[in-house]
Amino acid sequence: MDIRYSANQKDFKRYTTEETRNEFLIKNLYQNDEVVAVYSHVDRMVTLGCQPVNEVVSLDKGIDIWKNFGTSYFLERREIGIFNLGESGAIKVDGTTYKLGYKDCLYITMGAKEVLFSSDSKTAPAKFYMVSAPAHCSHETKLITINEAAKKPLGALETSNKRVINQFIHPQVLKTCQLSMGLTELEEGNVWNTMPCHTHERRMEVYTYFEIPEGNAVFHMMGEADETRHIVMTNFDAVISPSWSIHSGAGTARYSFIWAMGGENQAFDDMDTIATEELK
């Protein structure tokens, strides 16, 4: 497991491009028949990817559970949200099978012992993108399809950020301990994922960008408002955003992204907005 330690905003000001990418950027999450995991000490969030092709893959595969978590199995003290960003597949949780199409989401509560991933087709595999947070109690494992997500239209064509926020793992949809996740889809001709930008002093956030057209990229903005940096990201990259950092982005074409948050509360609108003219 790749382990990322907490970085503070003062040291971040001196980071080179390479250091910034090494600290926060997550690439190559989808390896055939493997579970790729990145553990962040920022709120102890874990970002994972799995692309089952030739076999059924266990969530615990390749992870030293006791060494990394001090537990007997991955979800003994954790909850997890899983999106399918590929073709159709299935997740089997303690004997119950959930079928996931493109952009569907499965929330698995703390205490689930066996989690198995499979694809319906070897030539067109599923891509399971996951974020896990520490948990203190169990709720309900639940499948939420893209059609069942709570829809929140935002933005405008005039500001190049007309989009729909699909809330999946969210208090309006289901109960969790601390994890919140959703999927934002920009409309054609729009490129900003959020502007004015903001921070979440009480929560960290993990983004993954996808549906980026070939030959295009997203410029993910980080840092404090008066000391910004950027990371150039391509299709299926993910990025860790600490609570002190802005997390805004603009693409060279429209794209979609999944956001995941964990921290002190689950109030979606609890953010510290920063006026655009204050950015440097």
Are 208 and 129 a contacting pair, CB within 8 Å? yes
Is 66 domain-assigned?
Answer: yes
CA pair distance 70, 148, nearest whole angstrom: 36
Phi/psi for 81 (5° steps) reads -115, 135
- DSSP one-letter string for 138-185: ----EEE-TTTSEEEEE--GGGT--EEEEEEESTTT---SS-EEEEEE
- Given this model, what pLDDT does residue 267 score? 63
Mean pLDDT of 165-172: 90
Top-confidence residue, 267 or 168 = 168
- Given this model, what pLDDT does residue 200 score? 76
Top-confidence residue, 79 or 265 = 79
Residues 200-230 have pLDDT tens digits of 777 789 999 999 999 999 999 999 999 999 9
- Given this model, what pLDDT does residue 195 score? 82
> Mapping DSSP to helix (H, G, I), strand (E, B) and coil, where does residue 213 land?
coil
Mean pLDDT of 85-105: 98
Is 1 domain-assigned?
Answer: no
- Tokens at residue 24, please? 């926060």
Q: Which domain holds residue 55?
A: 6-278
Q: Is the pTM of this model over 0.85?
A: yes
Is 87 domain-assigned?
Answer: yes
Which CATH number goes with the domain that contains 111?
2.60.120.10
Cis peptide before 125 (omega within 30 of 0): no
- Given this model, what pLDDT does residue 277 score? 87
259: left (phi over 0), alpha (psi -120 to 50) or beta: beta
Is 141 domain-assigned?
Answer: yes
- Given this model, what pLDDT does residue 109 score? 97
CA-based radius of gyration for the chain: 18
What lies within 8 Å, CB to CB, of 106 at 6+ separation is 81, 82, 91, 93, 98, 100, 141, 142, 143, 144
Q: How many structural domains comprise the chain? A: 1
Residues 122-147 have pLDDT tens digits of 999 999 999 999 999 999 999 999 99
Residues 13-57 have pLDDT tens digits of 999 999 999 999 999 999 999 999 999 999 999 999 999 999 999
Q: What is the mean pLDDT of the chain?
A: 94
Phi/psi for 212 (5° steps) reads -80, 120
Mean pLDDT of 259-271: 74
Which residue, among 91, 81, 6, 24, has the nearest Cα to 56 in the 3D structure? Answer: 91
What lies within 8 Å, CB to CB, of 158 at 6+ separation is none
